[in-house]
Chain A
Amino acid sequence: MAYKLRIKFNKYAHMIFIGHLDLMRYFQKAMRRGGVDISYSEGFSPHQIMSFAQPLGVGIYSDGEYMDISVNSLTSEQQLKDALNGVMSEGVDILSVKLLADKTPNSMASVVAASYFVAFREGYEPDFDLAKAAADFYAQDKIMIEKETKKGTRTLDLKEHIYSFSYDPDKNSLYMLLDASSGGNIKPSLVMEQLYREQGRELGEFDLIVTREDMFALKDPDKPGVFISLGEIGDSY
């Protein structure tokens, strides 16, 4: 009997410099250190049943990362949280654990949107009126851009992939909810590049401090546009 669990965690401090593959290896080791009764695949080199909602780029902070694991026995949400938090490095905390129903699609398959908080690195703040620029940017009916893909460049309407967009005057920062589906994933830097371009500026490589705040699935597969946080799916146990 195996149980599917969804683990929500964050990423900050020096851990933002750890790439996705290394983070996976980090968690594989953490499972062993924490004594988690995780399921393994069969074969000569068995691996842990573990999958992540979506890779997070190096240098990006997060308050809402998810991985799904399969375990052979159940303890409790609190017990698993404590076991893992007891063996974490500074920079990753386990925020919550949910028990998923057998038929729940895994996070990688179900993620369709992600929310981001975009601030500016000290000394790299925009030299234009960000509030106005953001308002003008999002007021457009269409935001046509050229996106580089593996198959070459294609033209797309960015606006269709931005589900919400707002400016925070207190923090001189932006909130955005973006398409994170496997076919239409949009990075916040792509949005910001276009916003800068429209101001006649070029976005610098290190200008932004990006935090992924959360990731979302469709609340009802038949109703596009209604989202539920990946962390709200499943039950406490």
Chain B
Amino acid sequence: MRKLALRDEILLKVEKPARYIGGEIGSIQKNMDQVSIRFAMCFPDVYEIGMSHLGIQILYDMLNRMDDVWCERVYSPWTDLDEIMRKENIPLFALESQEPVRGFDFLGITLQYEMCYTNILQVLDLAGIPLLSTERGCDDPIVIGGGPCSYNPEPIADFFDLFYIGEGENRYGELLTLYRKFRGIAEDGRGHFSERKNEWDREGFLREAAKIPGIYAPSLYDVSYGEDGCIASFTPKYDDIPAVIEKEMVEDLDSSPYPTAPVVPFIRVTQDRMTLEIMRGCIRGCRFCQAGQLYKPLRERSTQVLKKYARELMKNTGHEEISLSSLSSSDYTGLPELLDFLMEECGRQKVNIALPSLRIDAFSLDVMNKVQDVKKSSLTFAPEAGTQRMRNVINKGLTQEDIEGGAREAFLGGWNKVKLYFMLGLPGETTEDIQGIAHLANDIAKLYYDTVPKEERKGKIQITVSTSFFVPKPFTPFQWAPMDRPEMFTQKAAICKEEIRAQLNQKSIKYNWHDADTSIMEGVFARGDRRLCKVILRAYEAGCFYDAWTEYYKHDVWMQCFEEEGIDPYFYTERERTKEEILPWDFISCKVSRSFLWREWEKSKCEEVSTNCREGCQGCGMAAYGLGICPKRK
């Protein structure tokens, strides 16, 4: 029987003890005699959020397929346990073995959103690992970051020994082999491993690791700044360290490992279901979207393989729901075949199908009609902007006609709930663009009353309009764009609200908007540089963590920390950057060329749209690799 890290008294005192006990179906136990490397994989947020993330499950499965590697999971202890662990000096432990993370070889941390940065420090702190990479020694795990935020790792560069840029499937094997060599771990031919060296060349390892494609060792680069506060130079300290780090990408998804026996949580988590990743990448070139660029090119999994995975997932997990994962599922070529299969298979096994946000058309409505209760479900549209002009600026290829066409069909099919998602603060936004959000919502309400005769209406139309504030992200055409101040955001939300209230159908429209302060902070970290590390450290020391949770976000404390460090947060958000400026993430290549992004930025200013990858290649640079949707190399 496993011994739990926490005493019964603690587990009975904290909220949801199941967050900390491990032992779930699908969690992996290994015999320590046959393990040479211990890897702690961390999602720096609470268990229910972290357990919902597919990427971690993919890496967990992949690493545990290596016989001599034991990968375990770590999440941020919730605030109640955090307090107890600090008071009683209980070190952070991994869920599977319940043993302290400090004794592991690697601590991998996935970086899914900027607002988790202080939770990284919480995890390191509770684990007893020095927060700064420079203060770590031979006894400390190698701390490695990955995931979308590692495409601009600079604001958290000081806290990491390494970053892995790109898709995790490719390079861990090499990295671990190098580590074994440096630690003097050898196998005796009978599956047993020699003791690791306690004194070892940690720095030498980092330097060698930095030569592996996709691996970035922040301590091996020097940054200098000009008088204008911008980066003057960013160079490797040694000649043998690459000046540019290119992202790693999986060439063939069908042959890369997929977790068909993932960990099944005991408690309800945010995404409590089976996930089929049907493809990676996106053909749509929405100019605000970072994922669209980072995961290029579009690579599909074959329907054949997905059917097999679906069957295995059902057998292995027993989950009652399955969902498809991708950036734009309607673009998956095998979608009708896959959905037909799932409807039949799931119908037999009484498994629900959770539909991802499909483009609303006759096909998707037919599917929704079959798998959902029409009365309860709602239609989701993400026009992102209220006017066609603004949608052209952001290259969102969704017209009012598309929305109305889909909505009309849906209304005739019995739907009467519509959700609309928009962004405020997009580059070049005018008052008309903001008011256009209200007009579009009103038009859809009107369409309902025009389309559905009075006697056939099942209640009023319910429209929910949600706006978030636009945050420019690295590796998008808007990486050079200025971002609004919080007071501008608040003003814009007020304009939108006022205009909605002025509409004829205003009673059918509900309006939600996102908090402006956290959006600004997200903007600072998204495009920030290394100088922000000390602000983040200071904020953590001042008690900030769980910043992604509105109830724990302390804006005043953050602002004070910026002031104390003498850093103006708006330097990172308000400036329109020039073409020449060295951006903090310019040393990383996501294989989409900078010139393509600049071209798109210029086109956006002229309200000019670009075709998607299927309609016509835009020459983003990806074609050189001949993968997925890109034309094959000769």
Contacts from A to B (Cβ < 8 Å): 13-15, 17-18, 22, 25-26, 28-33, 35, 40, 44-46, 58-59, 87, 89-91, 121, 205-206
B314 contacts A17, C-beta separation under 8 Å: no
A40 contacts B18, C-beta separation under 8 Å: no
Partner of A33, one of B18, B266, B317, B352: B317
Partner of B266, one of A22, A32, A35, A40: A22
A13 contacts B18, C-beta separation under 8 Å: no
Could you give 11 example pairs across A and B, Cβ below 8 Å?
A14-B22, A18-B18, A22-B266, A29-B317, A32-B349, A32-B351, A33-B25, A33-B318, A121-B8, A205-B12, A206-B9
A-side contacts of B268, CB under 8 Å: 22, 25
A46 contacts B316, C-beta separation under 8 Å: no
Query: Smallest Cβ distance from A12 to chain B, in angstroms?
Result: 8
A-side contacts of B21, CB under 8 Å: 14, 17
Given contacts A33-B316, A40-B350, A206-B12, contact A13 B23 (CB under 8 A): yes
A-side contacts of B267, CB under 8 Å: 18, 22
A-side contacts of B352, CB under 8 Å: 45
A201 to B17, CA, bound (A): 29
Contacts from B to A (Cβ < 8 Å): 1-2, 4, 8-9, 11-12, 17-18, 21-25, 264, 266-268, 314-320, 349-352, 373
A14 contacts B317, C-beta separation under 8 Å: no
A35 to B22, CA, bound (A): 24
B1 contacts A13, C-beta separation under 8 Å: yes
B-side contacts of A46, CB under 8 Å: 350
Query: Smallest Cβ distance from A49 to chain B, in angstroms?
Result: 12
A40 to B350, CA, bound (A): 8
A-side contacts of B24, CB under 8 Å: 89
A31 contacts B318, C-beta separation under 8 Å: yes
B11 contacts A17, C-beta separation under 8 Å: yes
A99 to B169, CA, bound (A): 49
A18 to B12, CA, bound (A): 11
Given contacts A18-B266, A32-B349, contact A206 B23 (CB under 8 A): no
Query: Smallest Cβ distance from A158 to chain B, in angstroms?
Result: 24
A46 to B4, CA, bound (A): 37
Query: Smallest Cβ distance from A194 to chain B, in angstroms?
Result: 21
Given contacts A13-B2, A22-B266, contact A32 B22 (CB under 8 A): no
Given contacts A14-B21, A40-B350, contact A29 B2 (CB under 8 A): no
B-side contacts of A58, CB under 8 Å: 12, 17
- Residue of chain B at shortest CB distance from A12: B1
B4 contacts A30, C-beta separation under 8 Å: no
Partner of B2, one of A59, A87, A90: A90
- Residue of chain B at shortest CB distance from A31: B318
Query: Smallest Cβ distance from A93 to chain B, in angstroms?
Result: 13
Q: Rank and list the top 10 A-B pairs by shortest CB-CB distance, nearest first.
A: A29-B318, A32-B318, A33-B318, A14-B21, A17-B17, A206-B9, A44-B373, A14-B23, A59-B12, A18-B266
A171 to B8, CA, bound (A): 20
Query: Smallest Cβ distance from B354 to chain A, in angstroms?
Result: 12
Known: A17-B17, A28-B318, A46-B350. 20 other contacts (CB 8 A): A14-B2, A14-B21, A15-B23, A22-B18, A25-B266, A26-B266, A29-B25, A29-B320, A33-B315, A33-B317, A33-B318, A44-B373, A87-B25, A90-B1, A90-B2, A91-B23, A121-B8, A121-B9, A205-B9, A206-B9
